[in-house]
Amino acid sequence: MWRHIASNALTFFVVALFLVAGVISYGATQYSQPGPLAQAICLQVDRGSTMRRVSQNLLDEGAIQSASVMRIGADYSEKTSQLKAGNFLVPEAASMEEIVDIVTRGGQNTCGTEVVYRVGVTRTQIQVRELDPATNRFVEVAAFNPAEDAAPEVYEAVKEAADTRYRVAMAEGVTSWQVLNALRGLDLLEADVDAVPAEGSLAPDSYDFQPGTPVSSIIDRMTAEQERIIADAWAARADDLPLSSPQEALVLASIVEKETGLAAERRQVASVFVNRLNLGMKLQTDPSVIYGITKGEGILGRGLRRSELRADTPWNTYVIPALPPTPIANPGRAAIEAVLDPDRSEYIFFVADGTGGHAFAVTLAEHNRNVQAWRAIEAERANNDDG
């Protein structure tokens, strides 16, 4: 009899093990497989919230099939204690495993409201944007120029929200004076810097910040990023370039940045200047002359005068026989890489072609024909404007 009881107990134990293993296997599969969410949502996780509360909210939203499976999975992966506060974009069909990773990976918001301070060449603009979870794209709610316009109510309102995200977006080709002036004018930053950073030393990019961040902190990040970019590009530079240092590369990159806004022709423009340096020719670039007049403090707002093209300044490349002494703006990564790996060409001239790009030439005669074509385009546009 005891043998029969023991046999039944063993059978029951084995069956129970199989059942437990099956439940675990089912739970693991459910945890990692695509979820039921048909459309992306923005999940808000409040400070002091728990994985239990978050999983229940997700269940109520129809984003997961089981709150308990999500909690067990988070516990098993030791991520329950890593839950972060914020607004998080949960994409459609996200698995519970993916959702746990999203809400524990970092503290930055991935959806909701963001305020973008855009530092551009001609102006600084403040944008208020909302992320549409259905399209995963930001929609502009308001935009204004803080130097000219009163702040709209929506801007003042989102500044009061604890989960608003802030970032500075610095455009390629802005000067260090423009960057510092813009940052010091932002009401959410601590203006603790007076000295203008060295021209060319700041990397155009997007930088997140929190209200109360010192301007110096953002400047330091911009500087460190530019140092990394130029170091990497210099290490991978082409052979036989007429550039003796990373600083000279920054100078030439800033000129290329100001000469063309077309990504497709940056390396062509760079090749013209590299060829001119190799031949001992003057660079004869207007943006450098303009920098000698403005020192980067704003835009000239008019054409160059003949007297200015003849003026003996360190940045007048119609007079000096080589590179100017400093960059004339802050070049982006693409311009830096272009001058350190330019196209192999014989071009030594270029002029605008009327399409937003340039016509390149090897000989002066060819260049003169391109100049005449450009002047004809300018004359036609002037006539149309008068009409």
42 and 95 in a single domain? The answer is yes
- The pLDDT confidence band at residue 11, using thresholds 50, 70 and 90, is low
Residue 117 lies in a domain: yes
Residue 355 lies in a domain: no
Q: Kindly report, residue by residue over 89-146, the tens digit of the pLDDT.
A: 888 889 999 999 988 886 556 777 889 999 998 888 999 998 887 777 788 999 999 8
- The Cα–Cα gap between 295 and 299 comes to 10
pLDDT of residue 109: 65
The model's pTM is 0.75
pLDDT of residue 325: 95
Distance (Å) of CA 323 to CA 4, 7, 286, 336: 98, 93, 13, 15
The whole-number average pLDDT for the span 168-176 is: 95
pLDDT of residue 12: 55
Of 105, 122, 152, the one marking the end of a domain is: 105
Residue 163 lies in a domain: yes
32 and 97 in a single domain? The answer is yes
pLDDT of residue 108: 59
For residue 354, pLDDT over 90 is answered with no
Distance (Å) of CA 91 to CA 49, 66, 134, 325: 21, 17, 9, 51
337 and 287 in a single domain? The answer is yes
Residue 6 lies in a domain: no
The whole-number average pLDDT for the span 342-361 is: 89
pLDDT of residue 84: 86
- The Cα–Cα gap between 296 and 29 comes to 60
* CATH number, residue 90: 3.30.1490.480
Q: What's the total number of domains in the chain?
A: 3
The whole-chain average pLDDT of the chain stands at 87
pLDDT of residue 356: 81
Backbone angles phi, psi at 297, to 5 degrees: -95, 80
pLDDT of residue 128: 93
Residue 364 lies in a domain: no
191 and 284 in a single domain? The answer is no
pLDDT of residue 3: 57
- The Cα–Cα gap between 74 and 71 comes to 5
Q: Kindly report, residue by residue over 199-213, the tens digit of the pLDDT.
A: 999 999 999 898 999
For residue 380, pLDDT over 60 is answered with yes
For residue 69, pLDDT over 90 is answered with yes
What proportion of the chain, given as a percentage, has pLDDT over 90? 55
Flag the least confident range among 80-94, 192-206, 211-225: 80-94
242 and 332 in a single domain? The answer is yes
What proportion of the chain, given as a percentage, has pLDDT over 70? 90
226 and 118 in a single domain? The answer is yes
110 against 218, higher pLDDT: 218
Q: Which two tokens stand for residue 43?
A: 């999940």
Which of helix, strand or coil describes residue 252?
Answer: helix
Residues 6+ apart with CB under 8 A from 14: none
Give the residue numbers spanning the domain of 128: 113-230
Residue 248 lies in a domain: yes
- The Cα–Cα gap between 208 and 212 comes to 12
Q: Kindly report, residue by residue over 308-330, the tens digit of the pLDDT.
A: 999 888 999 999 988 999 999 99
- The Cα–Cα gap between 330 and 176 comes to 7
Q: Which two tokens stand for residue 25?
A: 């296997």
296 against 107, higher pLDDT: 296
- The Cα–Cα gap between 292 and 288 comes to 7
For residue 2, pLDDT over 80 is answered with no
Of 105, 139, 158, the one marking the end of a domain is: 105
For 334-354, the DSSP string reads HHHHHHHS-------EEEE-S
The whole-number average pLDDT for the span 254-260 is: 94
The whole-number average pLDDT for the span 342-366 is: 90
Residue 354 lies in a domain: no
Highest mean pLDDT among 95-109, 149-163, 182-196 belongs to 182-196
Pairing of strands 41-45, 86-90: antiparallel
